[in-house]
Structure 1
Amino acid sequence: MGFTRNWDSSCPRVWDSWETDGTKWVIQDLAPEDDNAALEILVNHLLTDETLCNLSNISEDAESVDTIVKIWSKFLAQRMSLGCYTEIEGKKTLVALNVCIVEYAEEKLPVDEVSRGDAWKNVLNALNYIDSKCNAFEYLGVDRLLYALGLVVKPEFRGHKLGSKILAAREPLCKSQGLKATSTVFTGPASQKSAARCGFETMVTVSLKELAENGLKYPPDENRTIKLMYKRYICD
């Protein structure tokens, strides 16, 4: 089946905008011309900051980096990702983004066929393990949803709650496409708290210790958890 975004003259669509201390911020569809900038931000910051990637040392495994870049590129091409920009004198600069894709119940995400690199496989196996604990589509009663694999804010722009703003912008994006739910694996306490503030609820909680006990290369820490979280939307 697959999802095709109707990318017409109204795109990229703006989902939120505001001003603070003389800075204008805009959250919109990630523009195609910014895909390379988005990938650079993801590689330079998400791979070192996100819990599973960091613990798997993915940034030190060139084959794994190449794999995740290919996967992100496929996701970005669907044109459902969100970008947060600063706007100064009409010029927009990408400072944060969320890689999103529409996932169908009967179709697997296009990740396994391009999976190379031991570090990436360790991350993927953790994600697959969490998914095996609960069928999100059955749990939510939907046949498609907005899934995300990568929310990152450039370090110099952190502290402005941009992550929460981007999560909130999923709602108008989803409603515009008739999507009734979104789900994401949140791996760090800060992102989990931010998601909860935005109305996300927990579907599955797994400790790093549980991952380690199931043969994955993570520290056996029972106090550090990753969560599969979701939010429902009411579409007109």
Structure 2
Amino acid sequence: MSASPKVWSKFSAKRKDGSVLKLRIMDMPRVPSVQEKVLDLLMKYFVTEEHTILAAGVADSEEAMQEMTAMQNYMLTMESMHIVICCSDTEDDQIGDIMGCSMMMFTKKGDPKLEVEFRTKELKKLMEIVTNGFGESYDEMKVFDLDLCLYARGISVHPKYRGLGIAQEFLRTRRLICKEFGIPITGAWMTAIGTQKAAERDGWETVCELQHADLEKKFNVKYAKDPPSTKFMIARIEL
């Protein structure tokens, strides 16, 4: 929804070797060269690590990965998507390595549901879990009667840059975006220990929790041992 690549945050992070990185969180420029880098990050590190995608078997199927690539590429071009990236804060404002990205989607009350037909059994299973597991368990738009909602579509940080507080800065930036658009509540299904802990440090509250053992029985899938559950966490925004 943002017309220009706004910079939301500038911060420094100290690496284990003592070096300091100057970073910025900004809207993803909608240009092919940057979108290709973000797509590469998502497919290498989000799709192959996110617990529910793994449980559905997407990463084990070449055909499913091809279908997922097409879906992620399409999402990067959707006008309703608000995508922010983390990169080096250089004086010339050039975008080099994409260190991480946060995918979000604006939805207005009354908008028709996005209908997507998948051909692979793995993507169909993933949508079954997302729709009948997560979607039926909690929806902040309904619970808080929101006119505009900013739905989470995933956070990914490149392994080289983990442990620098980038995920937490993405969550803080999300608060800023919600404040700008007048959204009092924002939430997300946190499926990884790292994002759950980052959200806790940023003051997010757990309002719904699904045990992976229960999801395994309901959808006939297998989750990794850790974490034991997926949490729906919310942040309250001071408007």
Q: Which bin holds the TM-score, normalised by the shorter protein?
A: 0.7 to 0.9
Residue aligning to 1:73: 73
Which consecutive unaligned segments of at least 5 residues does structure 1 have?
A: none
Q: Could you tell me how far apart the structure 2 residues matched to 1:172 and 1:223 are?
A: 28
Structure 1 residue 211: deviation in Å?
A: 1.0
Asked if the contact 1:71–1:114 (Cα under 8 Å) also holds between the matched residues in 2, the reply is no
Q: 1:154 to 1:161 in 2, by over 3 A?
A: same
Residue aligning to 1:82: 84
Q: 1:232 to 1:85 in 2, by over 3 A?
A: same
Residue aligning to 2:24: 26
Residue aligning to 1:194: 198
Q: Could you tell me how far apart the structure 2 residues matched to 1:139 and 1:117 are?
A: 33
Which consecutive unaligned segments of at least 5 residues does structure 2 have?
A: 14-18
The amino acid across from 2:6 in the alignment is: R
The amino acid across from 2:233 in the alignment is: M
Q: Which runs of 4+ in 1 moved over 6 A?
A: 220-223
Asked if the contact 2:27–2:84 (Cα under 8 Å) also holds between the matched residues in 1, the reply is yes
Kindly report which structure 2 residues correspond to 1:160-175, keeping only aligned pairs within 5 A, or say none: 160-175=164-179
Asked if the contact 1:126–1:216 (Cα under 8 Å) also holds between the matched residues in 2, the reply is no
Structure 1 residue 59: deviation in Å?
A: 2.0
Does structure 1 residue 36 correspond to structure 2 residue 47? no
User: Which residue, out of 125, 129, 135, partners 1:126?
Assistant: 129
The amino acid across from 1:17 in the alignment is: K
Structure 1 residue 176: deviation in Å?
A: 1.9
Asked if the contact 1:72–1:99 (Cα under 8 Å) also holds between the matched residues in 2, the reply is no
Q: Could you tell me how far apart the structure 1 residues matched to 2:103 and 2:37 are?
A: 13
Q: 1:15 to 1:54 in 2, by over 3 A?
A: same
SS at structure 2 position matched to 1:49? coil
Residue aligning to 1:216: 220
Which 10-residue stretch deviates more, 37-46 or 54-63?
A: 54-63
Does structure 1 residue 158 correspond to structure 2 residue 162? yes
Asked if the contact 2:2–2:82 (Cα under 8 Å) also holds between the matched residues in 1, the reply is no
Q: CA RMSD in A?
A: 2.3
Pairs aligned (count)? 227
Structure 1 residue 6: deviation in Å?
A: 4.9
Structure 1 residue 89: deviation in Å?
A: 5.0
Asked if the contact 2:52–2:223 (Cα under 8 Å) also holds between the matched residues in 1, the reply is no
Q: 1:18 to 1:223 in 2, by over 3 A?
A: closer
Asked if the contact 2:10–2:89 (Cα under 8 Å) also holds between the matched residues in 1, the reply is no
The amino acid across from 1:32 in the alignment is: R
Q: Could you tell me how far apart the structure 2 residues matched to 1:185 and 1:116 are?
A: 25
SS at structure 2 position matched to 1:28? strand
Asked if the contact 1:210–1:222 (Cα under 8 Å) also holds between the matched residues in 2, the reply is no
* TM-score, structure 2 as length reference: 0.85
Asked if the contact 1:148–1:183 (Cα under 8 Å) also holds between the matched residues in 2, the reply is yes
Q: Could you tell me how far apart the structure 1 residues matched to 2:141 and 2:152 are?
A: 15
Q: 1:134 to 1:191 in 2, by over 3 A?
A: same
Q: 1:172 to 1:62 in 2, by over 3 A?
A: same
The amino acid across from 2:41 in the alignment is: I
Q: Could you tell me how far apart the structure 1 residues matched to 2:216 and 2:147 are?
A: 32
Does structure 1 residue 92 correspond to structure 2 residue 95? yes
